[in-house]
Chains A and B, each alone.
Chain A
Amino acid sequence: QQQVKQSPQSLIVQKGGISIINCAYENTAFDYFPWYQQFPGKGPALLIAIRPDVSEKKEGRFTISFNKSAKQFSLHIMDSQPGDSATYFCAASSNFGNEKLTFGTGTRLTIIP
């Protein structure tokens, strides 16, 4: 049973476009929602994270939108670049991130010129 559902499984976006990845969760005890970027042969690297007391957080070209009532959150990558091509995982944790991470199934993003 996947506690964090992620879509789409794969995504192709043109350079300069907006990449959007969506996640939904069931466990209302989750209170910390990070996004990780993973390149082949590397460990996941934190991109941006949000807590449910805010509806949006922006860092550079990356924005998280959070809808607490719908239990959904999404990652927007503006002005997508070929270097953004990677696998993206949403995740969730409780106790303000001091517990294990539960990951979504991942989205393989490809940015084409």
Chain B
Amino acid sequence: AAGVIQSPRHLIKEKRETATLKCYPIPRHDTVYWYQQGPGQDPQFLISFYEKMQSDKGSIPDRFSAQQFSDYHSELNMSSLELGDSALYFCASSSRGEQPQHFGDGTRLSIL
């Protein structure tokens, strides 16, 4: 069965650079969630989209923005990167009214 696809799997950036993370949800899933997981920590919710509209917002820095496109894929744009942004970034997708959220294998972002 098709799963959530995230790209790239690994990304190395320097401080103050920008990064774009991509997420391709499971076909026919209309909702996308982004989570950030620091080393040894639990995933923290950043932002979600339903039918291309932002549906909820968590502890996402103002330096980050995201959107969901007409084909339902989503992109997380991160600017002015800081050392503390080093983490695993997960995307999850679901179909509204149906659980569960299915997670991709994440993008490991390292800031040097």
- Report if A and B associate in a common complex: yes
Instruction: Give the number of residue pairs across the A-B interface with Cβ within 8 Å.
Output: 58
Q: Quick check: B105 and A41 within 8 Å, CB to CB?
A: yes
Count of chain B residues near A, Cβ 8 A = 26
Nearest opposing residue in chain A for B9, CB measure: A41
Instruction: For the complex formed, measure the closest distance between the CB of A8 and the CB atoms of chain B, giving whole angstroms.
Output: 15
Chain A, range 24-82, C-beta contacts under 8 Å to B:
32, 34, 36, 41-46, 49
Question: Could you tell me which B residues sit within 8 Å of A by CB distance?
Answer: 4, 31, 33, 35, 40-45, 48, 56, 58, 90, 92, 94, 96-97, 99-106
- Starting from the known contacts A43-B106, A97-B101, 4 additional A-B residue pairs (CB-CB under 8 Å) come to A42-B105, A42-B106, A100-B58, A105-B42
B96 with A100: CB separation less than 8 A: no
Render A91-110 as a binary contact track against B, CB cut-off 8 A, 1 for contact. 00000111111111110000
A88 to chain B, nearest CB (A): 11
Q: Within 8 Å CB of B41, what residues of A?
A: 105-106
Which of A's residues lie within 8 Å of B, judged by CB?
32, 34, 36, 41-46, 49, 89, 96-106
- A69 CB to nearest B CB, Å: 24
B33 touches A89 (CB 8 A): no
Residue from the list A32, A36, A44 in contact with B99, Cβ < 8 A = A32
Chain A residues within 8 Å of B102, by CB: 46
The 6 closest A-B pairs by CB, nearest first: A43-B103, A97-B99, A103-B42, A100-B45, A46-B100, A43-B105
Chain B residues with Cβ under 8 A from A44's Cβ? Answer: 43, 90, 103
Inter-subunit contact B90/A96 (CB<8 Å): no
Interchain CB contact under 8 A, B103 and A96: no
